[in-house]
């Protein structure tokens, strides 16, 4: 089978031929049809000292199962988060991380919706939004947060402000339901909001906190780091909440499953529309990464086998 890997930090991505893996206990062997490209994986390629397996969201057909697998069998269509080599024709997926793909959805729909939607929905839940409150969503055109814009509205936000790196993304995020669009470089971020969902971090934390109304909440779920000044929180009695999807998946599987079901239900109703920026062949993984690195994507970037 074909698999994408690299040999050194920031080094080129290339295809290699390797044997199809065997599923171990609790694992599914999936013939990958679609693979979601994420910013954390792109960052690991450019930042980690040693090469890592290129994992992430996969969707496809189960072709074999390991011992103790009870929920899936050969022929089932699944999606889930692969922690090993996911940029490949075949990948191993632990049963606990797998969920079925409805017959009415494609593999591309699945990788654009489920994992990104879980993060967006989880971050939104962490903000404890009340109907009628106003929301700010950073990285609003990204694979995760273009869904967060929609989910904030679905959960009752009266006003949704989308923050983007490039003003040219404004028509896209407005088409998702954003009432206002601001660019990161803007001097003013408009009227204060009740809560903010931040997937950028770094230097954007300060203006995001500044955009909060008194008593406002910032949910931080970025891998980009950053520093928050305590004084910025004290003024206005604002708060910051950290959110990590893995903690929910490991510690609250029933909530994780409920969120997955909610996402598929919203998709089936047409209320939640995952957008795909582009589909790239497996051998063009480097081009897909370049789109993410340039922050040029409008929605999800997907690899196809």
| Among candidate residues 202, 226, 246, the one where a domain is terminated | 246
pTM assigned to the model? 0.94
- pLDDT for res 249: 83
Considering only CA atoms, which of 1, 5, 13, 7 is closest in space to residue 287?
13
- pLDDT for res 157: 98
- pLDDT for res 223: 77
- pLDDT for res 184: 97
Residues 90 and 196 in one domain: no
List the chain residues with pLDDT less than 70.
Answer: none
Tokens 């598929």 label which residue?
264
Q: pLDDT tens for residues 212-267?
A: 999 999 999 987 889 999 999 998 999 999 999 888 888 898 999 999 999 999 99
The residues, ordered by sequence, that sit 6+ positions from 70 with a Cβ below 8 Å of its Cβ are 95
Residue 86 lies in a domain: yes
Residues 214 and 125 in one domain: yes
Task: List the CATH number of the domain containing 187.
Answer: 3.90.180.10
35 three-class SS: strand
- pLDDT for res 224: 80
- pLDDT for res 197: 98
How far is 305 from 297, CA to CA, in rounded Å?
Answer: 20
Residue 96 lies in a domain: yes
């Amino acid at each position: 089978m074909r698999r994408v890997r690299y040999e050194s930090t920031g080094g080129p991505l290339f295809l290699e031929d390797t044997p199809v893996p065997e599923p171990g206990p609790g694992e599914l062997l999936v013939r990958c049809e679609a693979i979601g490209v994420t910013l954390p994986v792109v960052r690991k390629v450019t930042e980690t000292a040693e090469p890592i397996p290129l994992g992430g969201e996969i969707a496809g057909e189960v072709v074999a199962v390991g011992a103790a697998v009870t929920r899936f069998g050969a022929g089932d269509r699944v999606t889930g988060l692969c922690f090993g080599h996911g940029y490949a024709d075949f990948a191993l997926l632990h049963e606990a991380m797998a969920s079925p793909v409805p017959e009415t959805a494609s593999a591309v729909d699945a990788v654009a919706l489920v994992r990104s939607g879980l993060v967006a929905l989880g971050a939104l839940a962490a903000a404890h939004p009340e109907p009628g409150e106003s929301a700010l969503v950073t990285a609003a055109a990204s694979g995760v947060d273009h869904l967060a814009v929609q989910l904030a509205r679905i959960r009752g936000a009266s006003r949704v402000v989308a923050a983007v790196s490039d003003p040219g993304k404004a028509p896209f995020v407005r088409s998702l339901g954003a009432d206002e669009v601001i660019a990161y470089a803007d001097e003013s971020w408009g009227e204060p909001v009740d809560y903010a969902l931040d997937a950028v971090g770094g230097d954007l934390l300060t203006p995001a906190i500044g955009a909060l109304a008194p008593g406002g909440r910032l949910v931080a779920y970025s891998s980009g780091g950053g520093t928050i000044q305590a004084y910025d929180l004290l003024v206005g009695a604002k708060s910051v909440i950290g959110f990590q999807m893995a903690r929910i998946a490991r510690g609250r599987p029933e909530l994780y499953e409920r969120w997955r079901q909610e996402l598929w239900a919203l998709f089936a109703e047409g209320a939640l529309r995952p957008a795909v920026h582009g589909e790239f062949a497996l051998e063009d993984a480097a081009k897909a990464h370049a789109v993410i690195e340039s922050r040029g994507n409008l929605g999800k970037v997907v690899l196809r086998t």
